[in-house]
């Protein structure tokens, strides 16, 4: 029996996608091979790759002056590639200025990595209130090489409510946990990147969407595999790309298109999130610690009202355990923040959210 899986990542995939992949496992498109067995340079893999890229372009409305790259290394490798390619100097340690907004644990990791190659600075932070809000974004400095934000903060459950205007300074965003969750104006960004395992497909593929004029700025000492220009020139095939992941992403995008695309999933996601926040806001036992203006549609952390008491009595641990026994799995909060968290990505049906609310009402007694 399938469970309702609230995992923050890797996370649930649509059942029709899994079933199609299963049926095509030994023989895809009449080639007599699994996607896993094909040369990435073969005519058999070409249509698989092209389908994924063209669906992503169509669904996200990616302008033609942007390249789409399918890389490895997760969003975490982009924490290094962004500064290396946009702000690193002639030798290590003498980079250009780069602005970072500190909205959580991933944003902080991105900043710390950038400091190794760029003159990275945190220009605003919400750390003072345990990252429960998004700080207002100061204007960039004229000599910033780029301006980095984390659009949806997976661990603390916040989301930017608008795209900051950074003028001529390229805006770079980690969209690992919100890609394709609602319409997004790609043209406002210089680079968008996302690990696939939240809302796109299996772990192991990273999508990078980059405006062409930002390609080709890496210093000579940059490792080949970390250069956007090499990946762009080689069509993501400088070395073997994550072929099977790219194929599954294609199936997920096809599923999303059949569902009505990003506008439609955005409405569904809003409906799911509204339902759950409404319940939390009226619960006697649970609440959302996040500022209402910046609530994530995808990751909804929640805690018990009498937290110290609850910790002593093991209430939250018992909640997670009993929920799992009822088929509602992976509801524990991030190991660094505790509490609970329901991740309700695109593949989570509204029935899953309703089942969770019903369970929580009963648990409250």
Ligand X SMILES: *Cc1c(COP(=O)(O)O)cnc(C)c1O
Q: Quick check: 113 binds ligand X (CB under 6 A)?
A: no
Pairing of strands 158-159, 119-125: unpaired
- The encoded tokens of residue 3 equal 């469970």
Active-site pick, 44, 102, 144, 174: 174
- Considering only 9, 14, 190, 201, the residue that binds ligand X (CB under 6 A) is 9
Number of CB atoms found within 10 A of residue 168's CB: 7
Task: Report the nearest approach of ligand X to the CB of residue 365 (Å).
Answer: 34
Binding mask 48-77 for ligand X (x = CB under 6 A): --------------------------xxx-
Binding mask 145-164 for ligand X (x = CB under 6 A): -----x---x----------
Active site residue 174: yes
Active site residue 198: yes
Task: Report the nearest approach of ligand X to the CB of residue 246 (Å).
Answer: 15
Task: Report the nearest approach of ligand X to the CB of residue 242 (Å).
Answer: 12
Active site residue 255: no
Contact 86, 146 (CB under 8 A): yes
Could you give the CA distance from residue 7 to residue 237 in angstroms, rounded to a whole number? 31
Task: Report the nearest approach of ligand X to the CB of residue 5 (Å).
Answer: 16
Quick one: which segment of 22-30, 171-179, 208-216, 314-322 binds ligand X (CB under 6 A)?
A: 171-179
Helix boundaries (H) for 120-233 = 228-233
Contact 72, 204 (CB under 8 A): yes
Q: Which is nearer to ligand X, 35 or 155 (CB)?
A: 155
Could you give the CA distance from residue 130 to residue 209 in angstroms, rounded to a whole number? 30
Q: Say which residues have a Cβ less than 8 Å from residue 18's Cβ, sequence separation at least 6.
A: none
Number of CB atoms found within 10 A of residue 2's CB: 8
Residues that bind ligand X (CB under 6 A): 9, 74-76, 106, 150, 154, 174, 176-177, 195, 198
């Amino acid at each position: 029996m399938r469970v309702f899986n609230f995992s923050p990542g890797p996370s649930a995939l649509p059942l029709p996608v899994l079933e199609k992949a299963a049926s095509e496992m030994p023989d895809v498109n009449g080639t007599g091979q699994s996607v896993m067995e094909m040369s990435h340079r073969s005519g058999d893999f070409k249509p698989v790759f092209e389908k994924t890229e063209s669906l992503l372009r169509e669904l996200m409305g990616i302008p033609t002056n942007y390249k789409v790259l399918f890389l490895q290394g997760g969003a975490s490798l982009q924490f290094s590639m962004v500064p290396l390619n946009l702000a690193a100097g002639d030798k290590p340690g003498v980079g250009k200025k780069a602005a970072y907004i500190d909205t959580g644990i991933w944003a902080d990791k991105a900043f710390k990595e950038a400091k190794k190659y760029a003159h990275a600075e945190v220009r605003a932070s919400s750390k003072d209130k345990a990252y429960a809000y998004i700080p207002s974004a100061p204007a960039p400095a004229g000599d910033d090489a780029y301006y980095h934000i984390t659009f949806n903060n997976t661990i603390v459950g916040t989301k930017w409510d608008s795209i900051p205007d950074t003028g001529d300074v390229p805006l770079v965003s980690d969209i690992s946990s919100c890609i394709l969750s609602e319409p997004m104006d790609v043209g406002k960004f210089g680079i968008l990147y996302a690990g696939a395992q939240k809302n796109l497909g299996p772990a192991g593929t990273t999508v990078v969407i980059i405006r062409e004029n930002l390609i080709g700025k890496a210093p000579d000492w940059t490792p080949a595999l970390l250069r956007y220009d090499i990946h762009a020139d080689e069509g993501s095939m400088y070395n073997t790309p994550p072929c099977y992941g790219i194929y599954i992403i294609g199936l997920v995008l096809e599923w999303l298109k059949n569902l009505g695309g990003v506008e439609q999933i955005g409405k569904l996601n809003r409906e799911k999130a509204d339902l759950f926040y409404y319940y939390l806001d009226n619960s006697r036992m649970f609440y959302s610690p996040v500022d209402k203006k910046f609530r994530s549609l995808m990751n909804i952390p929640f805690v018990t009202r009498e937290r110290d008491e609850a910790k002593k009595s093991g209430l939250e641990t018992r909640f997670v355990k009993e929920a799992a026994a009822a088929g509602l799995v992976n509801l524990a909060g991030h190991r660094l923040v505790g509490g609970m968290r329901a991740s309700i990505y695109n593949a989570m049906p509204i029935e899953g959210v309703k089942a969770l609310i019903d369970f929580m009402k009963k648990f409250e007694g």
